[in-house]
Structure 1
Amino acid sequence: MIAARGFGHTRTLDIARAAGVSQALLFYHFETKEQLIAEAFAYAARQHLNAIGKIERSPNSPTERLRALIRLSSPGTSAAGWRIWIDAWSESMRNPELEATTRRMDVHGRTVLKEIIAAGVESGEFTCPDPEASSWRIFGMIDGLAVQLHVHDKLISRRKVTQLVRTAAAMEVGLTVDDV
């Protein structure tokens, strides 16, 4: 329901009807609509976090893990997934519980990227003076291009977005685009 209508246009009555429960039961489990929305987003995003966790725990080389994380996080992936993220960021300006959830998830993704870059520097695979700054720049580009791709239809192609992200990530860690 939230994915179809967006956070701001979904009523608790709509959610209750779609779930086949009463609105009172929703408010028994969630004190506010804001809490319900934050929990719904967290539930939807757990799949992404589980995939990031697999990359984080992978025994693969830092280059392979970087490639996997960039592929997973690419704006060229699931349009529905990115629309939920973009909507969640927007709604977070008005919903403190959702803001805390999106912040926690964003920080986790950047932390994993920073650790992959640091491991690559330590192993000699990457050249990067500041893994934290690089993780901010890479995810900043990913997030910004996701907005351009999924909000402004036909402004930029998925192929071009993927190329830009791979090029930026490669430049940040001293690899060639073919490596990422």
Structure 2
Amino acid sequence: MTPGFSRLRREDLLKTACEVIAERGFGHTRTLDIARAAGVSQALLFYHFETKDRLFEQAFSYAARLHLNALNQIERSERPPRERLKLLLKRCSPTTGADGWRLWIDAWAESMRNTDLEETSRRLDVRGRTLLREIIEEGVASGDFVCADPDGASWRIFALSDGLAIQWNVHGRLLSRRRVAQLVRTAAAAEVGLDVEDL
């Protein structure tokens, strides 16, 4: 087996593991479920990941890496602060990528008992919040935004988004997709001194 093939095989297995875990949850997913979904033997899974816990940790790290890559693209964008804020809100929308949100929500619960998952989850949360704060600070400096407390605003916006993501994914019938998006946009606009139509 060539190194390139092995690396691609691992990526495929991690992607499949994320999909299965998002559907079944960490507590109800067996390595057999992932192996069947990937069309491989359990032996191959253990060849690559050694243990079930290691596979789950690597799968979550893989999903986190994809999200971090998307955040890095927003950070490197040369668009003005308002456009970058819109991009970030869309990327982190409570109604975007249901499979991803189910994985994150389940991982948050598991993180209370698993230090590796907690570290990855915390790194992801800090990165997103730091990027949001930096975008707000840049907008204030350029005169596009009015915000006395960019750090507090970033906490409040993400706290609302995370909370609505839980409501949307666990109790999806309580709020429409449109209403969820409106709540986040309204809160974000208020935090940075914009009209909601600007976001």
Asked if these proteins are the same fold (TM beyond 0.5), I'd say yes
Confirm or deny: 8 A CA contact 2:81 2:138 kept in the other structure. yes
Query: Aligned-pair distance for 1:55?
Result: 0.8
- Provide the residue aligned with 2:127 in structure 1: 108
CA RMSD in angstroms, aligned pairs only: 1.7
Query: Aligned-pair distance for 1:79?
Result: 1.6
Pick one of 76, 79, 85 that aligns with 2:98: 79
**What does 1:1-180 align with in structure 2 at a 5 Å threshold?**
1-30=20-49, 32-180=51-199
Summarize deviations over 1:27-57 as a string: whole Å, max 9, x none.
Answer: 4543543332121012123332222111110
TM-score of the two chains, using structure 1 as the length reference: 0.91
Which fold has the larger relative contact order, with Cα–Cα distance below 8 Å and residues 6 or more apart in sequence? Answer: 1
Unaligned ranges ≥5, structure 1 = none
Partner Cα distance (2:188, 2:45) in 1: 43
Residue 31 and residue 107 in structure 1: after superposition, are their counterparts in 2 closer, same or farther (change >3 A)?
farther
Identity %: 67
Query: Aligned-pair distance for 1:110?
Result: 0.5
Query: Aligned-pair distance for 1:25?
Result: 4.7
Partner Cα distance (1:101, 1:126) in 2: 31
TM-score of the two chains, using structure 2 as the length reference: 0.83
Unaligned ranges ≥5, structure 2 = 1-19
Partner Cα distance (1:21, 1:137) in 2: 44
Partner Cα distance (2:117, 2:54) in 1: 7
Amino acid at match of 2:183: L
Residue 144 and residue 100 in structure 1: after superposition, are their counterparts in 2 closer, same or farther (change >3 A)?
same
Amino acid at match of 1:45: A
Query: Quick check: 38-47 or 72-81, which moved more?
Result: 38-47
Partner Cα distance (1:2, 1:149) in 2: 18
Aligned residues: 180
